[in-house]
Structure 1
Amino acid sequence: MTFYRTVGDIPPKRHTQHRDPDGNLYREELMGEEGFSSDSSLLYHRGVPSAITDSVVWEVPDQTRTPNHPLKARHLKLHDLEFADGDAVTGRRMILGNNDVRIAYVVTGTDASSLYRNAIGDECVYVESGAGTVESVFGVVAYRTGDYVVIPRATTHRWVPSEPSRLYPIEANSHIHPPKRYLSRFGQFLEHAPYCERDLHGPTEPLLVEGSDVDVLVKHRAGGAVVGTTMTYATHPFDVVGWDGCLYPYTFNIDDYMPITGKIHQPPPVHQVFEGWNFVVCNFLPRKVDYHELAIPVPYYHSNVDSDEVMFYVGGDYEARKGSGIGIGSISLHPGGYAHGPQPSAIEASLGADYFEESAVMVDTFAPLDLGEAGLACEDSAYAWTWAGRGPAAADDTGDGGPAVFSNS
């Protein structure tokens, strides 16, 4: 995030004395990326940001990963999952993951989540449905259906839903930012970018909360594994009277993305919205489609030579997947080493179309994705065979041992 913002009470010169009306010195904290060599913000605390009174193990949600072996396409039905814990943090269930990124899902209630800090990497949380706020040391940002909520690494925050929310957290082991090709060398969005600074919404005023011995759940790495610690802070972390800089949480709504279209089918990079280390995030939105007189609007078959492709279907009727069983709330995983594309019946059906009413969030990774416990729990095992119209020899519903058959219509 490279767009400067100032919020609350800060001194005229950085790294100088800044005192409250009673003469007490505020504690300055530099929160920065890549050591002292990249984006940062300076925060001014009433208390001591490093003062903790306890540190104990927090058992993070199940991080078990199962390789996609034998290799096949997968259909995961997220709306079939059950959630005993409506906490936006502790209730997350892992769908897919590798050593670069983890994709989870959670359905919240209306209670505020635990205070939480991800010390492994940035988080980009897509709001499938719902509304509320995210409170943090930087202040408050409101979220609504269709928002991406981007939260920098090590930001103490909590989710406060005003209504039950379906959240799709993308947890990186790196930073998440707009694609470099959208930005000038100084960080301004360029004219060809499909969104700009006006579409990004960050905190506008400080959030001050009193408290002592406050627990914060910290996700971090130890011994190569994702683990958790509960740190108890002497004073409430939300004690920042002001800050300035280029690092802070913000929201971006999917409706503010301007799709790029062309005379013939455009490849997925034109739909990119964010990137991290070894992965990208794209969104496919309602849009006019190809206008060449012989155009085929749905995608051509393609091999993911270097990446796994994950599509989360969040709205409309996704043209290329008609007849596959996929609907809103579904995820498709098309792994590297496997050619994939539209369902056969979708190709002819798309001819002559001039508009697609569909919304999906895509994550492409450059390392294979494993399945999390929740991914295994909600799989539609018939999906891999839908292009052929039949699966491996198996007992059918009549019990006569005939092959299972799946519709492409």
Structure 2
Amino acid sequence: MPYYRSAGSVPRKRHTQHRTPDGGLYSEELMGEEGFSSDSSLLYHVNVPSAVVDVRAWELPDQTLTPNHPMAPRHFATHALFDGGATGVDAVTGRRLLLGNGDVRLSYVVADTPSPLYRNAIGDECLYVESGRAEVRTLFGDLSVGEGDYVIVPRATTYDVVPTGGPVRIYAIEANSHIGPPKRYLSRYGQLLEHAPYCERDLRGPAEPRVVEGTDVDVHIKHRGPGPGGIAGTVHTYPQHPFDVVGWDGCLYPYAFNVADYEPITGRIHQPPPAHEVFAGNNFVVCNFVPRKVDYHPLAVPVPYYHSNVDSDEVMFYCGGDYEARKGSGIGQGSISLHPGGHPHGPQPGAVERSIGAEFFDELAVMVDTFRPLELGEAARATDDGRYAYSWSGGRRLRAEQPA
């Protein structure tokens, strides 16, 4: 996080005695990144945070990945994954894996049930709320989130997700690294700069921490291990509820940011994808294409030019409005397109001419660009329409069989 916060009860000096009302000591925990050399927070627990009374394996949802071979652009309909409803599905164990590589995994879930307590020990998570509302309850405090919210959850943060008022649709971006604002938006001290499309006022931190009663409480942990992709699951049972923090301070904590607070960067001619960047992780970036005024040069072509992803795979999640460049391709709300490196892609036939003279695009999409090839998870294999690769040629196919 780019700035310091303090919540609840903390001592005046770090690493000094902080006593309970009955004279005992709170347990101080340092949660820090990069071996004590980057952002951190100090948390003060009623109980000992290391104490566990049971350890057992957790069988994760299917994490297998299949190469995108033969290499082709693809279209996945995420809403079809849960078209029968979300009865009994939670936002952790119900995630279905769409795409992934050694740097990032992309999943989708429609949840109507509170999740178990959960901790991702592999990397930070970025949860995008497509629709619905939920409480993301963490040991730092709670975040009330709804449609259009990004929720950044630092690695090893214990949390759960409780839908409120109906199902919540979540697009989950799970990193093998940390996720934060792009470095070019930050001063050397970590403040968001004047040219950044959002600032600290737009970021919502958690509410005050609180102590939750409970005994023999399970926490599901995703961690490095022997499973597919080097990922495994374990359940730790804690003698007391891990939400026992009376106070914390520092620069590492979960926060929410709503896409409506992103101020788009526009110009007389078409702006490239880095102008839409919102977050970055190791070997990938997250961009968002929001409703915006478009190019105003008298000869401007507002939709993107055809382009080759020389170093990247591009994943677009279409979650609002009507995306101008994809009209006529079969893509709709909840669709995901994969444009792999090595295939030049761009607007559908007719989109260029239709866009000329447009002053505003009413569209909303979340894009993840990766710098290593993405492979297909079970959810992508289940919903690949088999036709998208041929949409630029009007659906004409030389061979009748479906692509592998």
TM-score, normalising length from structure 2? 0.96
Name the CA distance, whole Å, in 2 between partners of 1:208 and 1:168: 30
Name the CA distance, whole Å, in 2 between partners of 1:314 and 1:245: 34
**Equivalent residue in structure 2 for 1:338, among 319, 334, 343:** 343
Query: Conserved in 2, the CA contact under 8 Å of 1:136 and 1:207?
Result: no
Aligned to 2:361: 356
* Structure 1 position 393, deviation (Å): 3.9
Aligned to 2:72: 72
Aligned to 1:155: 157
What is the one-letter code of the residue matched to 1:114? P
Map 1:96-245 → 2, pairs under 5 A:
96-109=99-112, 111-162=113-164, 163-223=166-226, 225-245=230-250
Name the CA distance, whole Å, in 1 between partners of 2:87 and 2:282: 32
* Structure 1 position 191, deviation (Å): 0.4
* Structure 1 position 273, deviation (Å): 0.1
What is the one-letter code of the residue matched to 1:97? G
* Structure 1 position 30, deviation (Å): 0.1
Name the CA distance, whole Å, in 2 between partners of 1:203 and 1:294: 47
| Percent pairwise identity | 68
| Cα-Cα RMSD | 1.2
Name the CA distance, whole Å, in 1 between partners of 2:139 and 2:3: 18
Name the CA distance, whole Å, in 1 between partners of 2:145 and 2:107: 18
What is the one-letter code of the residue matched to 1:315? G
Secondary structure of residue in 1 paired with 2:253: coil
Write the deviation string for residues 70-113 of structure 1: whole angstroms up to 9, x where unpaired.
0110000001113565111000000000010000000000x321
Name the CA distance, whole Å, in 2 between partners of 1:389 and 1:201: 45
* Structure 1 position 225, deviation (Å): 1.2
What is the one-letter code of the residue matched to 1:342? P
Name the CA distance, whole Å, in 2 between partners of 1:22 and 1:275: 45
Name the CA distance, whole Å, in 2 between partners of 1:102 and 1:306: 18
What is the one-letter code of the residue matched to 1:304? N
Query: Conserved in 2, the CA contact under 8 Å of 1:200 and 1:252?
Result: yes
Write the deviation string for residues 216-256 of structure 1: whole angstroms up to 9, x where unpaired.
00000114611100000111100000000001110000000
* Structure 1 position 276, deviation (Å): 0.1
Map 1:76-91 → 2, pairs under 5 A:
76-82=76-82, 85-91=88-94
Aligned to 1:365: 370
Q: How many residues align?
A: 396
Secondary structure of residue in 1 paired with 2:169: strand
The answer on 1:35 being equivalent to 2:51 is no
Aligned to 2:391: 386
Aligned to 2:279: 274
Name the CA distance, whole Å, in 1 between partners of 2:124 and 2:396: 40
Query: Conserved in 2, the CA contact under 8 Å of 1:219 and 1:229?
Result: yes
**Equivalent residue in structure 2 for 1:92, among 81, 92, 95:** 95
Name the CA distance, whole Å, in 1 between partners of 2:210 and 2:331: 42
Query: Conserved in 1, the CA contact under 8 Å of 2:2 and 2:192?
Result: no
What is the one-letter code of the residue matched to 1:39? D
**Equivalent residue in structure 2 for 1:310, among 304, 312, 315:** 315
What is the one-letter code of the residue matched to 2:261? D
What is the one-letter code of the residue matched to 1:191? E
The answer on 1:256 being equivalent to 2:258 is no
Aligned to 1:399: none
Secondary structure of residue in 2 paired with 1:320: helix
Name the CA distance, whole Å, in 1 between partners of 2:289 and 2:2: 25
Aligned to 1:62: 62
Query: Conserved in 1, the CA contact under 8 Å of 2:325 and 2:347?
Result: yes
What is the one-letter code of the residue matched to 2:26? Y
Secondary structure of residue in 1 paired with 2:381: helix
Name the CA distance, whole Å, in 1 between partners of 2:398 and 2:306: 26
Name the CA distance, whole Å, in 2 between partners of 1:155 and 1:120: 11
Taking a change above 3 Å as real, the CA distance of residues 85 and 374 of structure 1, as seen in their structure-2 partners, is farther
Name the CA distance, whole Å, in 2 between partners of 1:391 and 1:103: 30
TM-score, normalising length from structure 1? 0.95
Query: Conserved in 2, the CA contact under 8 Å of 1:67 and 1:370?
Result: yes
Of stretches 19-28 and 206-215 in structure 1, the one that deviates more from structure 2 is: 206-215
Query: Conserved in 2, the CA contact under 8 Å of 1:124 and 1:170?
Result: yes
Query: Conserved in 2, the CA contact under 8 Å of 1:307 and 1:364?
Result: yes
Secondary structure of residue in 1 paired with 2:352: helix
Name the CA distance, whole Å, in 2 between partners of 1:390 and 1:25: 69
* Structure 1 position 15, deviation (Å): 0.2
Name the CA distance, whole Å, in 2 between partners of 1:113 and 1:86: 8
